[in-house]
Chains A and B, each alone.
Chain A
Amino acid sequence: MDRKKATILLQSGELDKALSAFIFANGYAALEIETTMWFMIWGYNCLKRRRSLFAPFRRKVDPAREGAYRVLETDSVLQPLLEMLNRGGARRLPLSRLNLMGLGPALFDKLLKRKGIMTLEELIQSAVDLGVKFKMCQICFDAMGVSVDDLIVPNVEVKGVSEYARDTMEAQVNLFI
């Protein structure tokens, strides 16, 4: 029998939702189910390397590398501006409820540690170790001016909706978070 497959699409940029997505991904992967995680819109905020406020404006774009999946000619000041306002980072995500201007996530973090629950960063690392595949939405990458080098996970693939459709049809389960 073919290996079972699962796909998870993370569209939200909040800590609680990213935690859910990565807990399920780790669960599937631990059960030897071939797991693919898709990321779009705010979803990949949890995978972003935290950089300084003005780093997006100083970043040099490598046309050979980034041009493979982005249309660099249509870039404008909006891409770095959006990156500046939407810096992300697994440790800096807000909560979808009771964010309390940043106090919520800090308390949440304490709560997880006390209860022995893995933090988002640990879950991401463990997903990488268990062989979860990471695929990013190409139009989101292009519109928001993100490079695969900005992400903390290796071997990221940048793909389109046709590949997503095929991945989900081949999988027995698809989660949209």
Chain B
Amino acid sequence: MTADREVDVVGKACPLPLIELAKAVRTLQPGQTVRITGNDPIFEESIVELCREAGHEVLETDRRGRTVCMLIRVRPEPGRR
């Protein structure tokens, strides 16, 4: 599945993956998708937490060693909850 936007944060540490994902989400419409790739030791749990708090949906998680690739669907209602 192709994503509307790709974000690569390989080699970057917390909190940069969170910041990059939040910025990417702001450029997208509700329901669009973003794929984020990173290899921070706490990358996956951080992204899962952000999505849970912000209301985004994690569609796919692809783990290749430490590198994790996650496909995320932007929450239906953007803006403040």
Contacts and interface: CB of A to CB of B under 8 A. Distances in A.
Interface of A: 67-71, 138-139, 142, 158-163, 165-166
B77 to A, nearest CB: 20
Contacts of B49: 162-163, 165-166
Contacts of B62: none
11 contacts: A69-B41, A138-B40, A160-B42, A161-B18, A162-B15, A162-B46, A162-B53, A163-B49, A165-B49, A165-B53, A166-B53
Interface of B: 13-15, 18, 40-42, 45-46, 49-50, 53
A89 B18 CA distance: 33
Contacts of B18: 161-162
Contacts of A166: 49, 53
Contacts of B40: 71, 138, 160
A145 to B, nearest CB: 14
A166 B41 CA distance: 19
Given A166-B49, A166-B53, A161 B14 contact: yes
Interface centre among A69, A138, A160, A166 (most CB of B within 10 A): A160
Contacts of B42: 69, 138, 158-160
Contacts of A139: 13-14
Nearest to B50: A162
List the 4 shortest-distance A-B pairs measured between CB atoms, nearest first.
A160-B14, A162-B49, A162-B46, A160-B42
Nearest to B14: A160
B68 to A, nearest CB: 14
Contacts of A67: 41
Given A142-B13, A159-B45, 19 more contacts: A70-B41, A138-B13, A138-B40, A138-B42, A139-B13, A158-B42, A160-B15, A160-B40, A160-B46, A161-B14, A161-B18, A161-B46, A162-B14, A162-B18, A162-B46, A162-B50, A163-B45, A165-B49, A166-B49
